[in-house]
Amino acid sequence: LLRAVLAVAVGMVLCYAFGGHLLKVMLWPLAVATAGNPPKLKYFSPSEGFTVYLRVALVAGAVLASPYALRQMWMFIAAGLYERERRTVRKLLAPSVALFLLGVAFFMVIVAPLGMRFFMNFARTHYPEPPQWGVEFFSRFLIGDNPVLPATAPTTAPAAGAGSLEPELRIGYYISFVTTLALVFGLSFQTPLVVLFLGRSGLVPV
């Protein structure tokens, strides 16, 4: 297990050197969802940019080191399995890695751009502008001639179909959203192998 942890640490160091390229991959779904005009991502604490960079390097390092780390963990676990169970796991290991990567790729290429496009459009189109029913009368009656904004404050008319919300995405939340769902999709693609393993081991009748 210690060797597996060390492998992840080495992978993290290597991926840290290529963190900029990894972040471009993470931001690609947002660029597709916004037709190449993504909003500027923001950070709300001095260290957020650095911690997000480290998080991306850690996740990528774990993926990079996963073959070696899984082998070390397998050597630790295999001692407690029967020979038939060990043969079954060895046969399923390569398909498991392939399905995990396929699930992550499916999310990043198909689901993430479409999902972000849906969520951002929903927020813009389903939240209306503040109503104007009697606003002028009640403003003069209740507020008088001292509005919150000066009378000379610039105003812009909303675009056709635009609502009252505009996206202001935080880099930490965006990266967490993408990495979490990519992991979920990668694991969900393991379902056929889990069912097959349970069937062959006799834990679930087929």
The whole-chain average pLDDT of the chain stands at 81
Share of residues in the chain with pLDDT > 70 (%): 86
- Residue-level pLDDT at 157: 44
- Residue-level pLDDT at 154: 46
CA distance 117 to 93: 35
Over residues 34-60, mean pLDDT: 88
74-96 residue pLDDT tens: 777 777 777 777 777 778 788 88
CA distance 97 to 90: 12
CA distance 25 to 106: 14
- Residue-level pLDDT at 164: 64
Asked whether the predicted pLDDT for residue 134 surpasses 80, the reply is: no
Over residues 134-162, mean pLDDT: 59
